[in-house]
Amino acid sequence: MLGYARPDRPSSPLVGGTTCLSLIGAAVELLCIFIQAARGRQSRFNFQTAVDTVISVIMAITAVLFIGTVLPPLRHA
């Protein structure tokens, strides 16, 4: 993802941190989806059990973090 950074902007710790946070968030989101699929459960908005609720909340938090790290650079593009 760092390859998509504009060459006229020097790479900074903020760019690296944002990229790492985005990648970690995406990995956590995919892991939660994989866990729910392996359990044979719906992955989104499933609050039937405590485990389903925890996984849904984790997915919601990572989605907000992912969107929060992606949208600010797009505003200034």
The pLDDT of residue 72 is 61
The pLDDT of residue 18 is 76
Domain ranges of the chain: 17-75
Q: Is the dihedral of CA 25, 26, 31, 34 positive or negative?
A: positive
CA distance 18 to 4: 13
Task: Write down the pTM of the prediction.
Answer: 0.68
Q: Which residues contact 22 (CB under 8 A, 6 or more apart)?
A: 1, 66, 69, 70
pLDDT truncated to tens, each residue of the chain (77 aa)? 556 656 555 567 777 777 787 788 888 989 999 999 999 988 878 889 999 999 999 988 888 877 777 666 555 55
CA distance 22 to 38: 24
| Residue pair 52/41 in contact by the 8 Å Cβ criterion | yes
